[in-house]
Copies of this chain bind each other. A is one copy, B any other.
Amino acid sequence: MPYDPSAFPPFAVTVDLVVLTVRRHSLCALAVRRGEPPFQGRWALPGGFVRDDEDLAQAAARELAEETGLCVHDPAVPAQDNGAHLEQLATYGDPGRDPRMRVVSVAHLALAPDLPAPRAGGDASNARWAPVEELLEQAGYGREGEPPAPLAFDHTQILADGVERARSKIEYSSLATAFCPPEFTVGELRRVYEAVWGVALDPRNFHRKVTGTPGFLVPTGGTTTRQGGRPAQLFRAGGATLLNPPMLRPEV
């Protein structure tokens, strides 16, 4: 049976983004307000259709730039700064996940340092950083005075999967540095782990672990006192991407 367009059903393919950052000691995700049905007025993950001539990673990078202005960090250019980490997360394709038509969404996970205010088409009221616990709660929350509502479509599930991916991946990779500015202290990195995992870590053991793992951190020579207290050494992310042995998440 040769190529026959009628032999398969047509799908729309989108990319949705779980964009995570750490703000004020808590893990936050980017949410945008839907301006059109279905789920008009509800919060959702940013995303959009994949264009005819781009691959999935390009589509995700484009959407990320449109929503946040972030460039994607290219692993081939390790000196590049301020780039976000972007990776494919999973694909969601239940019939009926979009009431309009059959849509398959290839979700991506992006990790970014703390950013200035988000923008969605320049309209700040239609985009926000929200703590993930807030977005994941069954009831959901709106902004001040808005009715609580969960995220549109199956985006609560996608967000949960993205958060779990981030939580487990910083255990055995140096990915947590993607949440940090180009130069950072051990304490700032520890606060990233604490925010992502929602636990408190011992500063002394954490310091020993991260400075003792070859290739994880590279001292830049500078120091900073922006956190108060004794000045701390500044580091850049080293070349190592896999931590062996891993940094173990404390039990329960």
Measuring CB to CB, which residues of chain A are less than 8 angstroms from any residue of chain B?
Answer: 1-3, 5, 7-14, 36-37, 49-56, 88, 90-95, 100-102, 104, 106, 244-245, 248, 251
Given contacts A8-B13, A13-B93, A56-B91, 19 further A-B contacts (CB under 8 A): A2-B37, A3-B101, A5-B101, A7-B49, A8-B12, A8-B14, A9-B51, A9-B52, A10-B10, A11-B11, A11-B50, A11-B104, A13-B13, A13-B104, A50-B104, A56-B104, A88-B90, A91-B106, A104-B104
Q: With A and B bound together, what is the CA distance between A104 and B106 in angstroms?
A: 10
* Cross-chain contact B94 with A91 (CB below 8 angstroms): no
Q: Which residues of B contact A10 (CB under 8 A)?
A: 10-12
In the complex with contacts A8-B12, A11-B12, A3-B95 CB distance below 8 A: no
* Cross-chain contact B36 with A95 (CB below 8 angstroms): no
Q: With A and B bound together, what is the CA distance between A55 and B8 in angstroms?
A: 14
CB nearest to A38 among chain B residues: B3
Q: Which residues of B contact A244 (CB under 8 A)?
A: 251
Q: How far is the CB of A250 from chain B (nearest CB, A)?
A: 11
Q: How far is the CB of A232 from chain B (nearest CB, A)?
A: 31
Q: How far is the CB of A247 from chain B (nearest CB, A)?
A: 13
**Which residue of the partner chain, among B1, B36, B102, contacts A1 with CB atoms under 8 Å?**
B36
* Cross-chain contact A49 with B95 (CB below 8 angstroms): no
Q: Which residues of B contact A2 (CB under 8 A)?
A: 36-37
Q: Which residues of B contact A53 (CB under 8 A)?
A: 95
CB nearest to A5 among chain B residues: B101
Q: Which residues of B contact A37 (CB under 8 A)?
A: 2
